[in-house]
Structure 1
């Protein structure tokens, strides 16, 4: 997992060509002008999902991980907290869902081991397949506009 501000995106350009392209897209794009939903950058290799929502309390969310895509989650406005756990040793609550590229993990069984980090406007987090994450949480509902860049492995 990586957490930083978009102002430092150039530091991570060498991670992979697709991550570099996704970060460059985030830097160059004014997402306040975008409709919510999917926006293709490079077909199924790189695409953006723009979402507007209100954060929820941790007990209403689940941890998730992905096998086919790396997530780059960028907060355009608002702020949230996300939970993080390494995948090793965790037990999913349901089988991997290939169509949606998600496997879920229970918060209640992982809450004492999880680390929660604030993700404010202008910040991004990169989650690899070995990073279990729980986005979109806070103690009170906060309006958030977020872009999730899906980067094919």
Structure 2
């Protein structure tokens, strides 16, 4: 898992070989309405907005085929992370490439201008609040691992 500011995204170019393709879209994220956008070769991104959900009762999610690149555009969220081998897996749906798990983890504040990368070995719980709900707008890239 990587958490950083968008101003440093280019430092991760070796981890994201198609960075030039992603950058074309990243530069226009603030202009795009909510929806799904195809990148080709099975990769895509979506613009999402809403309000955060309570930490209590939330579950981790994880993926086997995709890396998530999540970019906070407006508002904020808290995100909980844990290594996949430290959580209890509940179920996994191969068709949608999403699984769910429970367990303890580290809670992080995600502010506008920040991004995080989560890999198949990362369980993550995005879109949370602890004290009070917040508005958020973010881009979620699904990139082949």
TM-score by length of 2: 0.91
Report the counterpart of residue 24 of structure 1 in structure 2: 23
Q: How many residues align?
A: 144
Is the Cα contact below 8 Å between 1:22 and 1:151 reproduced in 2?
Answer: no
Structure 1 gap ranges (5+): none
SS of the residue 2:90 aligns to: coil
Unaligned runs of 5+ in 2: none
CA apart distance, 1:143: 0.6
Task: After TM superposition, give the deviation of residue 21 of structure 1 in Å.
Answer: 3.9
Q: 1:27 to 1:37 in 2, by over 3 A?
A: closer
Find the aligned partners of 1:25 and 1:140 in 2 and give their Cα distance.
Answer: 35
Partner of 1:42 in structure 2? 40
Matches within 5 A, 1:66-77: 66-77=63-74
Query: Residue 141 of structure 1 aligns with which residue?
Result: 133
Per-residue deviation, 1:89: 4.0
Match of 2:99 among 95, 100, 103: 103
Q: Structure 1, residues 18-74: CA drift from partner, whole Å, max 9, x if none?
A: 3x2465245422x23212121012241x21111111001111421010001000010
- The equivalent residue for 2:144 is 152
Q: Which residue of 2 aligns with 1:117?
A: 108
- Which of 99, 118, 126 is the aligned partner of 2:117? 126
* CA RMSD between the two structures: 1.6
CA distance in 1, matches of 2:3, 2:15: 14
User: Does the aligned pair in 2 maintain the 1:9–1:23 contact within 8 Å?
Assistant: no
